Amino acid sequence: MSERSSLRRQRLNPEVGEILRVIEKKWAEFSAEKDYTRRRGHAMVFAALLEQLIDEPQFLPSDLQEGTVDDERRWFPRDAFDEDPLPFLGESPFETTGPAEECAFFYTDTGVFSHIYSGPAVDPCRRPLIDHGPFVHSYEKRHATETETTMHVTSGEVLKRLFGKKRLPRLRKSGDVHSIFCDPKGCAQPLSPGHFIVKRTNDLQKAITAAEQISKEVKIRLVVATKRISFCTR
C-alpha cells in the first residue's frame, strides 16, 4: 500500500473504544451494587457516558484529503511593503518550482509569509514586520518541489511523521540550517504555534531529495529554504 493510500484511509476513533471500556466497567458496578442511592450514582455516570458515546464519530477523518485550504491569512497584507525598496517579484515562495537562486522571503513564528524578493536575504529589522512577531526571519529560497498542491493534510504532524521516516541527518548546532516548508494551502492545521516548517536539517541535498519524494506522495508542494537572519520584535 502506498503512503498516499494509507493516509487517505479513515481511522477508527480511539475515544470510542475507551468510552466502551468505561461503560462496561460502570455497568458491572451498577449490576453488582445493591444500595439504591449508589445505583443511582452509577446510573447517572452511565447515562453521561452514553451521551458521550452518541456524540463521538466511529471514524476520524483521513490524514490526507482532496482539495486545498484557504491560506489568505498566511500572507503579509499587500500594503505591508508599499514603502519598501526591496524588489518583490509578485509571487509566493511556492510558485516557481525547481532550484532557486538569488531570492529570499520573510517568515514569522506565527506562520506568515512574505512574497519572494530578488537578491540576498536582508535583515528583517529594517522592514515593516515588527507587528508579526515575536520573531521574523529571512530565508534564502533554495528549491521548490515540482508537484502542485492539490491535496491537504489535516495536521502538520502528518508531514512531520513522514519526514521522520526519512532519517535525515540529525541537526547540528553549527552550519547552515535548511528548513522544509509546507505550502499553507496543503495544511489545515499547522504545527504549533503556527509553524509550516515540517523538518530542519544541515544537509541541503538530502532535504531536497526527501522533499521531492514526500511531495509526490501527498500531492503538496514543499519548499526548502535556508535561514539567514532572524530578528526579535520584542
123 and 28 belong to one structural domain: no
80 and 22 belong to one structural domain: no
State the pLDDT at residue 168.
80
Give the pLDDT confidence of 198-214 residue by residue, as tens digits: 999 999 999 999 999 99
Is residue 133 in a domain? yes
Q: What is the mean pLDDT of residues 185-195?
A: 83
State the pLDDT at residue 4.
53
| Residue listed under C-alpha cell 522533499 | 211
Q: Which of 20, 40, 62 is the last residue of a domain?
A: 62
26 and 126 belong to one structural domain: no
Q: Evaluate if residue 16 carries a pLDDT over 80.
A: yes
42 and 95 belong to one structural domain: no
| Residue listed under C-alpha cell 502538520 | 156
State the pLDDT at residue 95.
95
Compute the mean pLDDT over every residue in the chain, rounded to the nearest whole number. Answer: 86
Which triple of cell numbers denotes residue 151? Answer: 491535496
Task: Name the pLDDT band for 195 (thresholds 50, 70, 90).
Answer: confident
Number of structural domains, the chain?
2
Domain encompassing residue 56: 11-62
Is residue 26 in a domain? yes
80 and 188 belong to one structural domain: yes
Quote the CA–CA distance of 197 and 191 in Å, as a whole number.
Answer: 8
Is residue 6 in a domain? no
209 and 142 belong to one structural domain: yes
Quote the CA–CA distance of 82 and 75 in Å, as a whole number.
Answer: 15
Residue 75: partners with Cβ closer than 8 Å, 6 or more residues away: 92, 112, 113, 114, 115
Cβ–Cβ contacts within 10 Å for residue 97, how many?
A: 15
State the pLDDT at residue 175.
86
Is residue 4 in a domain? no
Q: Which of 62, 84, 101 is the last residue of a domain?
A: 62
| Residue listed under C-alpha cell 517568515 | 107
Task: Name the pLDDT band for 69 (thresholds 50, 70, 90).
Answer: very high
54 and 161 belong to one structural domain: no
Q: How many CA atoms lie within 13 A of 62 on its CB side?
A: 14
Is residue 218 in a domain? yes
Q: Which of 22, 44, 62 is the last residue of a domain?
A: 62
93 and 147 belong to one structural domain: yes
Is residue 2 in a domain? no
80 and 177 belong to one structural domain: yes
CA angle 44, 49, 52 (to 5 degrees): 130
Is residue 1 in a domain? no
Give the pLDDT confidence of 123-138 residue by residue, as tens digits: 877 665 556 667 889 9
72 and 58 belong to one structural domain: no
Is residue 5 in a domain? no
165 and 78 belong to one structural domain: yes
Query: Which of 11-20, 126-135, 164-173, 185-194 shows the lowest mean pLDDT across its residues?
Result: 126-135
Quote the CA–CA distance of 231 and 185 in Å, as a whole number.
Answer: 26
137 and 189 belong to one structural domain: yes
Cβ–Cβ contacts within 10 Å for residue 52, how many?
A: 14
> For residue 60, what are the CA distances in angstroms to 12, 40, 49, 190, 219?
6, 33, 19, 18, 21
Query: Which of 37-46, 84-93, 163-172, 181-190 shows the lowest mean pLDDT across its residues?
Result: 163-172
Q: Evaluate if residue 1 carries a pLDDT over 50.
A: no
